[in-house]
């Protein structure tokens, strides 16, 4: 059951109102902008974009606002013989789009439409000797790809696949931990809130969160909030709506969401809404896009904003979906 948040978080009365209906319309209109060059230039993000859009709509309580049947048909066409999904039809398979495709299919409860075993083959083929995962067969590695792999396998209930060495994955992630308690994209890489999210998420799913010093990392994460309420991703950088998700979900996994000022963050996200077109931008006054729209809305949901469907802090999918597939006790 998708039950909207009932907790009435202290929402500042003078804060802008939440434009729920406009956001729904904004997301529905995304696929109609074929006269814009931008539409074509972002084609490689189509599958990711669908995940962002569909997830946002679910959290908004409008799960049927997109044509589910059409999306499933489209996704099937994006799957390659090796099991991976491309960012669009005829685009090469990559773990980023593979996770998005699986997330959408699970949200819609339509895993039956694809060959799950092949997806698992694909992901297993990307694990490297040191425990990390490559993004595709060209070999780029990044902790983001580790999270994509572990998240995807966990959603598919295939973490017990014999080809995987998950202890090595944990060891690798731990090697990415820094002097400040945060995590980077690779061993030695600077701490960054989005990389913290993927590493803490991976460790959460793998039951290895004891490698994280929650007080130290929670401190670092809480220092991401700036005076205007927005969150940045690294010290001395600008605020951005998408960090509402990366920082907040990490704090949530560490049971420390209360370490930042929720009403101020809510206000910042609401101010980044586009009152004309709907959608949310990276910060007030900028152009909205579906990426910032979903992470803004997911952030609001995690903050208990009234009227939104609860989101899961690890998987960034509706909580009732994660409950349905039986993964809720894991964290």
Among positions 25, 28, 92, 307, the unique one binding another protein when judged by CB under 8 A: 92
Number of amino acids touching another protein (CB under 8 A): 66
Using the minimum distance from each CB to another protein, give the nearer residue, 220 or 305.
Answer: 220
User: Which is nearest to 314 in space by CA: 169, 97, 323?
Assistant: 323
76 makes contact with another protein (CB under 8 A): no
Using the minimum distance from each CB to another protein, give the nearer residue, 149 or 260.
Answer: 260
Segment contacting another protein (CB under 8 A): 67-75, 156-164, 221-229, 308-316?
Answer: 221-229
Among positions 106, 274, 305, 308, the unique one binding another protein when judged by CB under 8 A: 274
Using the minimum distance from each CB to another protein, give the nearer residue, 158 or 264.
Answer: 264
- Interactions with another protein, residue window 228-267 (CB under 8 A): 234-237, 240, 242, 256, 258-261, 264
Burial of 150-185, coded b for 16+ CB within 10 Å and e otherwise, reads bbbbbbbebbeeeebebeebbebbbebbbeebbbbb
φ, ψ of residue 97 in degrees (nearest 5): -75, -25
Q: How many CA atoms lie within 13 A of 224 on its CB side?
A: 33
Among positions 281, 308, 309, 311, the unique one binding another protein when judged by CB under 8 A: 281
213 makes contact with another protein (CB under 8 A): yes
Binding string, 151-190, against another protein, x = CB under 8 A?
Answer: ---------------------------xxx----xx-xxx
40 makes contact with another protein (CB under 8 A): yes
The whole-angstrom separation of Cα 279 and Cα 181 is 34
Among positions 9, 215, 306, 328, the unique one binding another protein when judged by CB under 8 A: 215
Using the minimum distance from each CB to another protein, give the nearer residue, 124 or 209.
Answer: 209
Rg of the chain's alpha carbons, rounded to an integer?
Answer: 19
The whole-angstrom separation of Cα 152 and Cα 99 is 6
DSSP conformation letters of 43-96: GGGHHHHHHHHHHHHHHTT-TTSS-HHHHHHHHHHHB-TTS-BBSSTTSPB-HH
Q: Using alpha carbons only, what angle is made at residue 331 by residues 114 and 124, rounded to the nearest 5 degrees?
A: 40
273 makes contact with another protein (CB under 8 A): no
The whole-angstrom separation of Cα 280 and Cα 289 is 6
130 makes contact with another protein (CB under 8 A): no
The whole-angstrom separation of Cα 199 and Cα 222 is 17
Q: Which residues bind another protein (CB under 8 A)?
A: 6, 34-37, 40-41, 43-45, 86-87, 90-92, 94, 138, 140, 178-180, 185-186, 188-192, 207, 209-215, 218-220, 222-223, 225, 227, 234-237, 240, 242, 256, 258-261, 264, 274, 281-283, 285-287, 289, 291-292, 329
């Amino acid at each position: 059951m998708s039950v909207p948040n009932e907790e009435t978080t202290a929402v500042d009365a003078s804060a802008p109102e939440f434009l729920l209906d406009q956001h729904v319309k904004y997301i529905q209109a995304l696929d109609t902008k074929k006269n814009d060059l931008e539409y074509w230039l972002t084609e490689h993000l189509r599958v990711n974009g669908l995940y962002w859009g569909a997830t946002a709509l679910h959290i908004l309580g409008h799960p049927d606002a997109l044509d589910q049947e059409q999306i499933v048909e489209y996704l099937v066409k994006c799957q390659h013989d090796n099991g991976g999904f491309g960012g669009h039809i005829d685009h090469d398979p990559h773990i980023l789009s593979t996770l998005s495709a699986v997330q959408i299919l699970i949200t819609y409860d339509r895993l039956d439409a694809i060959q799950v075993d092949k997806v698992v083959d694909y992901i297993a083929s990307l694990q490297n000797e040191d425990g990390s995962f490559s993004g595709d067969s060209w070999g780029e590695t990044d902790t983001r790809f580790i999270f994509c792999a572990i998240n995807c396998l966990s959603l598919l209930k295939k973490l017990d696949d014999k080809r995987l060495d998950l202890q090595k994955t944990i060891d690798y992630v731990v090697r990415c931990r820094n002097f400040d308690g945060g995590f980077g994209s690779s061993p030695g890489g600077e701490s960054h809130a989005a990389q913290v999210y993927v590493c803490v998420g991976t460790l959460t799913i793998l039951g290895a969160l004891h490698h994280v010093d929650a007080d130290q990392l929670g401190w670092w994460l809480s220092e991401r909030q700036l005076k205007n309420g927005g969150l940045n991703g690294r010290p001395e950088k600008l605020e951005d709506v998408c960090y509402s998700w990366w920082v907040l979900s990490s704090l949530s996994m560490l049971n420390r969401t209360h370490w930042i000022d929720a009403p101020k963050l809510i206000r910042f996200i609401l101010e980044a809404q586009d009152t004309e077109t709907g959608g949310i931008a990276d910060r007030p006054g900028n152009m909205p896009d579906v990426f910032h729209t979903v992470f803004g809305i997911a952030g609001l949901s995690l903050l208990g904003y009234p009227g939104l469907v609860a989101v899961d802090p690890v998987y960034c999918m509706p909580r009732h979906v994660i409950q349905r597939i039986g993964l809720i006790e894991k964290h």
